[in-house]
């Protein structure tokens, strides 16, 4: 890549919103996101976002594609990797492979920075909140510690949920239903975020959490509401994809540059990301 092209791309990233934008789109995957969801997740006015999108597209860092009546924006991942690779090579005396690890788009927090602690809540803590715990602990790459609990936890994690997570190569050894009271006791982890993923738990009176966490509701349908084994299996997979999508957006938020109000708005917006078509058909 020519130095002039590299310089143009680095210059295009010289703004906090654009750094947050590229992280968000990389996390969203090849399908990208529509402009409305990007604006909501980043807490940016549509007019400002349009300007940043144009600048990033001109620099070759993202692409736009029409999907029906909407325009979706996706990161040009090879271009982003090219910038990261250039920095890695420059910082490793010309040999990126000699470094102890490579620069990545989702770089871990410095050692001195404390990981964010997130508690996912559901009534029985056997399907949705367990999935969310597993997804965030893998996607968070050490920047987040995720837990899950329930107001009336089951005696075990649902076998079909464990099977799904195993197929997707998630560690499942430590997953267990827990009462949310465990996280309100003295000595419990200080919580940064508490997120309910079922409507029933959201309607209950929660304990007093340590750490004054931000709270949000990401309503996810109960896969057990589907009729028949085949439908239930599809609903479970759709629930996983919805949670993975929302958590993918969550981990790319510029957490340390947003104030408390900005974070709250972003959390609420993530909870409004559309459900899978199969879940919408269930009416739950």
Domains of the chain by start residue, with CATH: 3-98 (1.10.10.10), 116-282 (3.40.50.2300)
Looking at the chain, the whole-number percentage of residues with pLDDT higher than 90 is: 28
Question: What pLDDT does residue 19 have?
Answer: 86
Residue 159 in this model has a pLDDT that exceeds 80: yes
User: pLDDT-derived band of residue 108, with 50, 70 and 90 as boundaries?
Assistant: very low
Cα(282)–Cα(238) distance, integer angstroms: 11
Write down the pTM of the prediction.
Answer: 0.61
> Which range among 81-85, 170-174, 178-182 has the greatest average pLDDT?
178-182
Contact between residue 223 and residue 127 where contact means Cβ atoms under 8 Å apart: yes
C-alpha torsion 33→35→40→44, nearest 10: 130
Choose among 187, 209, 188: nearest CA to 196: 209
Taking residues 179-206, report their average pLDDT: 85
Quick one: how many helices (H) and strands (E) in the chain? 11, 7
pLDDT in tens, 218-270: 998 888 777 777 778 888 888 998 998 899 889 888 887 788 888 899 899 89
pLDDT in tens, 37-68: 788 777 778 888 888 898 889 889 999 988 77
Question: What pLDDT does residue 109 have?
Answer: 42
pLDDT in tens, 124-137: 999 999 999 999 99
Residue 178 in this model has a pLDDT that exceeds 60: yes
pLDDT in tens, 16-31: 888 888 888 887 777 7
Question: What pLDDT does residue 281 have?
Answer: 35
Question: What pLDDT does residue 93 have?
Answer: 52
Q: Burial letters for 102-139: b for 16+ Cβ neighbours within 10 Å, e otherwise? A: ebebeeeeeeeeeebbbbbbbbbbbbbbbbbbbbbbbb
Look over the chain and give the mean of its residue pLDDT values, rounded to a whole number.
81
Question: What pLDDT does residue 202 have?
Answer: 64
**Token code pair at residue 188:** 């419990």
Residue 151 in this model has a pLDDT that exceeds 60: yes
Cα(67)–Cα(232) distance, integer angstroms: 29
């Amino acid at each position: 890549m020519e130095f002039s092209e590299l310089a143009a791309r680095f210059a295009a990233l010289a703004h906090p919103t654009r750094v947050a934008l590229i992280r968000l789109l990389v996390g969203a995957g090849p399908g990208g996101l529509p402009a409305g969801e990007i604006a909501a997740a980043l807490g940016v006015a549509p007019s400002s976002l349009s300007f940043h999108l144009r600048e990033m597209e001109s620099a070759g860092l993202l692409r736009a594609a029409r999907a029906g009546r909407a325009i979706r924006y996706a990161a040009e991942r090879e271009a982003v990797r090219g910038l990261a690779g250039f920095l890695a090579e420059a910082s490793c005396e010309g040999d990126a492979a000699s470094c102890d690890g490579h620069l990545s788009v989702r770089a871990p927090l410095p050692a001195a920075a404390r990981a964010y602690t997130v508690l996912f809540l559901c009534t029985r803590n056997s399907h949705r909140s367990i999935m969310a715990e597993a997804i965030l602990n893998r996607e968070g790459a050490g920047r987040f510690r995720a837990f899950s609990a329930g107001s009336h936890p089951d005696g075990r994690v649902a076998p079909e949920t464990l099977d799904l997570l195993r197929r997707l190569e998630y560690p499942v050894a430590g997953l267990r239903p827990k009462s949310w009271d465990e996280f309100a006791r003295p000595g419990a982890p200080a919580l940064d975020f508490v997120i309910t993923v079922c409507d029933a738990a959201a309607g209950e009176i929660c304990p007093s959490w340590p750490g004054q966490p931000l709270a949000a509701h990401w309503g996810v349908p109960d896969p057990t509401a589907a009729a028949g084994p085949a439908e239930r299996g599809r609903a479970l997979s759709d629930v996983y994809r919805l949670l993975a999508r929302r958590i993918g957006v969550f981990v790319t938020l510029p957490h340390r540059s947003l104030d408390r109000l900005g974070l709250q708005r972003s959390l609420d917006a993530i909870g409004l990301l559309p459900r899978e078509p199969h879940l919408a058909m269930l009416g739950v």
